[in-house]
C-alpha cells in the first residue's frame, strides 16, 4: 500500500495521473494527504480523473513557465494552501481551471517584484472555490491575473485583495464567507453575489459591477467608496453607504 503524506514533485510535463510523472511520490501519482509541487518548465494536465491533495505549490518559473490545466470537467481539491512562488525571471505560473472545478483552502500568489512573469488563475465555464483568504505580495497589477472567459463561477470565502488584474467579463463572483471579507477594488467585475450567513463584505476602493448585484444574505459596506452597478440589482439584506 502507498504511504501518504509525500511531497510529490513533477519530473516532466504530461498527465497528472501517470506515476512516472512524479518523484518522491510513493511510486504513484499524488493522492489524498500528499503535497504537490509543479517544477519549473513543467506543464501538467488533469484530463483523465479527479484528485484531492493537501497542498499545491508552483515553483519559481524563472525563464520557463510552469502550469496546471484541468479539463474534461474534472475536479481538483486542495485542502490546504495553493501557492504561486514569486518568479525571479521572465516566466510565470498558470492554473487553468477550464470547465473543471478547483477548490482550495487558501490561495497565496507572489509575483516577483520587477519581473515580467505573470501569475494567472483562469477559468472558462468551470468553478473556482477559495474557502479562505486570497493573499500574497503583488508588486504589479498586470502580473497577477484572475480571468474568466466564459459562464464561470468564482466563490470566495475570505478576503479578495485589490492590486491585481480582474477580467471577469462573463462570469460570476460570490462572496460567501461567514466572517468579515474584503472586496477588492476593481472596476471589471461582472455579476456579483453577496451570500453571507454572518459578517460584512467591505469594498476596498472604487468598484464597478458591470453585470448584476445580488445581495441574498449578509451585509455589504461600501466603505464610503464610489460604487457603481450597471446591471440589475436584487437586494434582500443591507447595504451600508
Report the alpha-carbon angle 171-172-176, nearest 5: 155
Contact status, residue 139 vs residue 160, Cβ threshold 8 Å: no
- Block means of pLDDT (10 residues each) for the chain, 241 residues, are 78 98 97 97 98 98 97 98 96 98 98 89 98 96 96 98 94 97 97 96 97 95 94 88 80
CA distance 194 to 162: 18
Q: What is the pLDDT at residue 241? A: 80
Q: What is the pLDDT at residue 3? A: 45
Contact status, residue 4 vs residue 24, Cβ threshold 8 Å: no
- pTM: predicted TM-score of the whole model, two decimal places: 0.96
Length of the chain in terms of residues written: 241
- The neighbouring-strand residues paired with 76 are 51, 102
Q: What is the pLDDT at residue 97? A: 98
Q: What is the pLDDT at residue 4? A: 61
Contact status, residue 74 vs residue 50, Cβ threshold 8 Å: yes
Amino acid at each position: 500500500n502507498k504511504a501518504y503524506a509525500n511531497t510529490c514533485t513533477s519530473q516532466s510535463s504530461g498527465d497528472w495521473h501517470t506515476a512516472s510523472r512524479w518523484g518522491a511520490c510513493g511510486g504513484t501519482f499524488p493522492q489524498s494527504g500528499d503535497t504537490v509541487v509543479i517544477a519549473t518548465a513543467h506543464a501538467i494536465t488533469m484530463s483523465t480523473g479527479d484528485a484531492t491533495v493537501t497542498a499545491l505549490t508552483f515553483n519559481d518559473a524563472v525563464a520557463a513557465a510552469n502550469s496546471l490545466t484541468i479539463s474534461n470537467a474534472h475536479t481538483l481539491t486542495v485542502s490546504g494552501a495553493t501557492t504561486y512562488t514569486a518568479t525571479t525571471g521572465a516566466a510565470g505560473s498558470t492554473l487553468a481551471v477550464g470547465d473543471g472545478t478547483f477548490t482550495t483552502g487558501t490561495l497565496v500568489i507572489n509575483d516577483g517584484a520587477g519581473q515580467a512573469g505573470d501569475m494567472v488563475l483562469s477559468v472558462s465555464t468551470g468553478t473556482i472555490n477559495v474557502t479562505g483568504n486570497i493573499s500574497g505580495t503583488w508588486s504589479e497589477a498586470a502580473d497577477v491575473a484572475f480571468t474568466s472567459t466564459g459562464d464561470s463561477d468564482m466563490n470566495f470565502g475570505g478576503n479578495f485583495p485589490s492590486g491585481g488584474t480582474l477580467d471577469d467579463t462573463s462570469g460570476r463572483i460570490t462572496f460567501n464567507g461567514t466572517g468579515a471579507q474584503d472586496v477588492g477594488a476593481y472596476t471589471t467585475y461582472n455579476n456579483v453575489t453577496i451570500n453571507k450567513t454572518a459578517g460584512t463584505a467591505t469594498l476596498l476602493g472604487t468598484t464597478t459591477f458591470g453585470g448584476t448585484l445580488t445581495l441574498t444574505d449578509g451585509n455589504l459596506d461600501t466603505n464610503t467608496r464610489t460604487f457603481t452597478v450597471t446591471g440589475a440589482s436584487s437586494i434582500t439584506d443591507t447595504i451600508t453607504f
